[in-house]
């Protein structure tokens, strides 16, 4: 059964909504598990649909979180944060 997860993500002082589709499966041993096709390796599980959705929010945040070192003086690169 496909489902769409609505994921609130913060970028600095702004908050935007990002809509991410997830595929929800009923687990053989009970409960649910879900995968996020747009983010390789991102998946989670939960005993209830509510728990699954909470766990998915945490998993997606973790999969999208990336620490990037600040550019050194004179470096031509820029680090930008965009809201989607």
Question: The CATH number of the domain where 21 resides is what?
Answer: 3.30.160
pLDDT at 10: 43
pTM of this prediction exceeds 0.75: no
pLDDT digits 0-9 by tens, 26-41: 999 999 999 999 999 9
Angle at 8 between CA 5 and CA 13, to 5 degrees: 170
Query: For residue 29, is it within any domain?
Result: yes
- Cβ pair 82, 76 in contact under 8 A: no
Question: Which residues, given as ranges, of the chain have pLDDT below 70?
Answer: 1-16, 84
pLDDT at 15: 55
Query: For residue 70, is it within any domain?
Result: no
Tell me the residue range of the domain where 39 lies: 2-64
pLDDT at 67: 81
User: Residue 51 to residues 2, 11, 18, 54, 78: CA-CA distances in angstroms?
Assistant: 17, 25, 20, 5, 38
User: Residue 22 to residues 19, 39, 67: CA-CA distances in angstroms?
Assistant: 10, 10, 25
pLDDT at 3: 47
Query: For residue 22, is it within any domain?
Result: yes
* Number of domains the chain contains: 1
User: Residue 5 to residues 24, 39, 70, 74: CA-CA distances in angstroms?
Assistant: 10, 13, 32, 41
Would you give the DSSP letter of residue 82?
Answer: -
């Amino acid at each position: 059964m496909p489902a769409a997860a609505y994921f609130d993500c913060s970028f600095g002082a702004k908050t935007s909504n990002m809509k991410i589709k997830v595929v929800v499966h009923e687990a053989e041993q009970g409960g649910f598990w879900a995968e996020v096709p747009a983010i390789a390796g991102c998946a989670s599980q939960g005993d209830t649909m509510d728990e699954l959705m909470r766990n998915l929010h945490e998993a997606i945040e973790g999969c999208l979180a990336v620490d990037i070192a600040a550019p050194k003086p004179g470096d031509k690169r820029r680090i930008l944060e965009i809201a989607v």
